[in-house]
Amino acid sequence: MDKIVVTHPEEKHFTFDQIPDLTGKVAIVTGGNAGIGYFTCRELTRKNAHVFLLGRNTEKGQAAVETIKSETGNQNVEFLHLNLKSLKSVKECAENFLARNLPLHILINNAGVTTNTFSLTEDGIQEEFGVNHVGHFLLTKLLLSKIKASQPARIVNVSALGHRKVTGIEFETLNDPNAQEPRQRYRQSKLANVLFTDELNRRYFEGEQVYANSLHPGVVDTNMLRRDDFSIAKTLLSFSISPEDGAITTLYCATSPEIEEKNYRGRYFDPFGIEGEKSLYANDYMAKRLWEFTENLINEKLGL
């Protein structure tokens, strides 16, 4: 298995100042009320995009919206409720956005969870896999027709360096509380983000101007990293970067002209906008298997 070395380049390939004017662009960001997601929303809004901040906590989400309006002067930022622990909520959120009859140029799947306690979503799916992958899979699929109609468009899936520390996805034991340790559950979900991105490009975007890429934002000093139940936090804090710097690679994938100029699709990026190496297990076979497994799971849970 790959040995992981935690480093961040001193010189940034991309900065907030390089984000082009986004007037007329519409963006969705999950998990936008705090951390990386918040700064992603703020900078998109600062560059004149119409931004939808999606999150589970309405009070915190609305507060973030008002702060971003105040900081940027752009009033075109809105909150939409999204609980990724509930596939019904994901479906309702997508329907609420589609009812606005707006284009969608940028979709950023940023929200994520990790915990040392095994738990299930409202649909009975192991939580890290359910929130970090399945919920975003469904949201993206429900918005696909709108994204394709709005091209050129971008889809950005926030993964993590830890996706290289697993040898695949243990489909048969995802809901077994004793099958994997907590870090392995999280890492599997992050591998799923990369695999989903690759298969999305293969299935839907050949010949289209839709660019889906995944990324490692860096080891970011967020509340998640400092939680008492996140057992590797003390080791990683000395290597961490700020949430603002953590948003740079996401914004590179979402806005940089290089993505279209160099036809970057199905790529994986490290900080700060530098192409990185995917896991050896981020292969076509695993991507197709994950796609089929996820579709069947969603159909079963939603009764489709």
What span, in angstroms and rounded, lies between the C-alpha atoms of 47 and 303?
41
267's CB contacts (< 8 A; 6+ apart) are 213, 214, 275
What span, in angstroms and rounded, lies between the C-alpha atoms of 168 and 283?
10
Q: Render the burial of 109-139: b for 16+ CB within 10 Å, e for the rest.
A: bbbbbbeeebeebebebbbbbbbbbbbbbbb
Handedness of CA 209, 17, 70, 112 (dihedral sign): positive
252 is catalytic: no
22's CB contacts (< 8 A; 6+ apart) are 44, 47, 48, 49, 255
- Token pair listed for 87: 């596939």
Pairing state between β 106-109 and 26-30: parallel
Contact criterion met (CB below 8 Å) for 166 and 192: no
* Angle subtended by helix axes 284-302 and 87-98, to nearest 10: 90
Query: 120 - beta bridge partners?
Result: 126
Pairing state between β 268-270 and 274-275: antiparallel
Q: Which residue among the candidates 38, 186, 268, 281 is catalytic per the annotation?
A: 186
Catalytic residues: 186
